Amino acid sequence: MTEGIKVRPARTAEIPTLARLVENQLPDMMAGRKRPDNIEGYLARLIPDQCLMLATRGNRLAGLIALDLDHTRVLACYLDPETAAPDTPRQLFGAVEKLALSYGARSLTCQIKKQVTGFMSTIGYETAEALDGDGAVVVEKNLLAKARPELKELIKLLDELGIPENYGVRRRLKLIPEASTLVSIGPDIFNRDQRLTPAAATAWGRMRSAAANNGIDLQLVSAYRGVTYQVNLIRRRLNEGKSLEDILKVSAAPGYSEHHGGRAVDVTAPGCKPLEESFADSRAYRWLKSNGGIYGFRESFGMANRHGISWEPWHWCYHHRPGR
């Protein structure tokens, strides 16, 4: 019975308590893992990517699961025998599988005790390797086996373009579903009609009006772009002789562009060359840095960002409504 059990990402404030738990309890479904010397520091590194998930019943911990996203493997799964429900491990594994898949990971592995291989097979894991000495087994799950047809088609396109399988994981970029509802926000500087989701469109209109009241003319370069557009963009640049590595420094792979979601805009201002870092020297950029957040817009790819994408001071994405 799963009533009352909720799975959520761990919070930074919970790390000291969770570290003590790991120090005092052996993971009950895993095997052969050496605990790190600095457990608290190790767990803290999992927080930004939500790779440490908790199962709770009220204010009690029912279990936890830790994901090594870089190697797409489950590090440990702990269950509290008094609080956990029979389906809690299934919920925990489901949560990290969904997370890994959101980055485009195609499979997930974990090292387990041999006696739980039966349970793991019921949730789709197959034995990949039997380890000598301690009765441990490495099991693996194909995350694409029951994926949506559109995701399978996207993976096929990525393979055709030569995009590395670990692209999303390595760049820490999540797959962005294409927006289903879009509204016009008027023409861009090339006189092409541009669209955003209704919420992002409203926020963009308010932000642009506020900028205008301060003598700033925010101009559109682009907004919503679908997966097909991104595929054609990369193919065109490949045909021009550019290397895939260089292309991916300035353009996200198809499926990973924030433009797909209908919440991102590329902007410029009079006197600025579109899509150039020199936009950062403009009054418009300085105004956006000070005021964009008020309207829910953030600069996605700042200088030396962790995504491996060149600095894009012109790219801003809507994340929330003000006050939320």
Q: Could you please report the per-residue DSSP string of 192-204?
A: -EEEE-HHHHHHH
Is the domain of 192 the same as that of 94?
no
Rounded to the nearest 10 degrees, the angle between the axes of helix 283-291 and helix 198-213 is 120
pLDDT at 216: 98
Domain range enclosing 274? 164-318
For residues 268 and 280, what is the distance between their CA atoms, to the nearest angstrom? 10
Strands 73-79 and 107-113: parallel
pLDDT at 285: 98
Q: Are 228 and 150 in contact (CB under 8 A)?
A: no
Q: How many CA atoms lie within 13 A of 277 on its CB side?
A: 8
| CATH classification of the domain holding 74 | 3.40.630.30
Q: From the DSSP assignment, how many helices (H) and strands (E) are in the chain? A: 10, 13
Is the domain of 124 the same as that of 17?
yes
Is the domain of 252 the same as that of 219?
yes
Is the domain of 10 the same as that of 124?
yes
Is the domain of 314 the same as that of 169?
yes
The model carries a pTM of 0.90
Residue 147 forms part of a structural domain: no
Q: Are 1 and 82 in contact (CB under 8 A)?
A: no
pLDDT at 1: 46
Is the domain of 43 the same as that of 168?
no
Q: How many domains does the chain have?
A: 2
pLDDT at 323: 44
Is the domain of 172 the same as that of 135?
no
For residue 141, which phi and psi values (nearest 5 degrees)?
Answer: -125, 130
Selection from 118, 116, 124, 6 nearest residue 57 by Cα: 6
Residue 157 forms part of a structural domain: no
- Last residue of one domain, picked from the residues 89, 108, 142: 142
The one-character DSSP state at 272 is S
Q: Spell out, as residue ranges, where the chain has pLDDT lower than 50.
A: 1-2, 28-29, 31, 323-324
* Residues in CB range of 238: below 8 A, 6 or more apart: 161, 244, 247
Residue 82 forms part of a structural domain: yes
Is the domain of 103 the same as that of 240?
no
For residues 232 and 124, what is the distance between their CA atoms, to the nearest angstrom? 36
Residue 153 forms part of a structural domain: no
Is the domain of 228 the same as that of 265?
yes
For residue 68, which phi and psi values (nearest 5 degrees)?
Answer: -90, 95
Strands 219-222 and 136-142: unpaired
Q: Are 196 and 317 in contact (CB under 8 A)?
A: no
Question: How many angstroms from the chain centroid is the CA of residue 259?
Answer: 14
For residues 305 and 278, what is the distance between their CA atoms, to the nearest angstrom? 18
Is the domain of 92 the same as that of 187?
no
Q: How far is CA 243 from CA 44, 239, 240, 308, in A?
A: 36, 10, 9, 15
The SS3 of residue 108 is strand
For residues 312 and 298, what is the distance between their CA atoms, to the nearest angstrom? 11
Q: How far is CA 270 from CA 161, 211, 263, 278, 295, in A?
A: 36, 13, 23, 12, 22
pLDDT at 37: 75
pLDDT at 133: 64
Residue 158 forms part of a structural domain: no
- Last residue of one domain, picked from the residues 87, 111, 142: 142
**Torsion over CA: 300, 305, 310, 314 (sign):** positive
Q: How far is CA 86 from CA 91, 139, 184, 186, in A?
A: 10, 21, 49, 54
Residue 118 forms part of a structural domain: yes
Residue 59 forms part of a structural domain: yes
- Last residue of one domain, picked from the residues 142, 177, 211: 142
| CATH classification of the domain holding 193 | 3.30.1380.10
Is the domain of 299 the same as that of 213?
yes
Is the domain of 19 the same as that of 132?
yes
Residue 307 forms part of a structural domain: yes
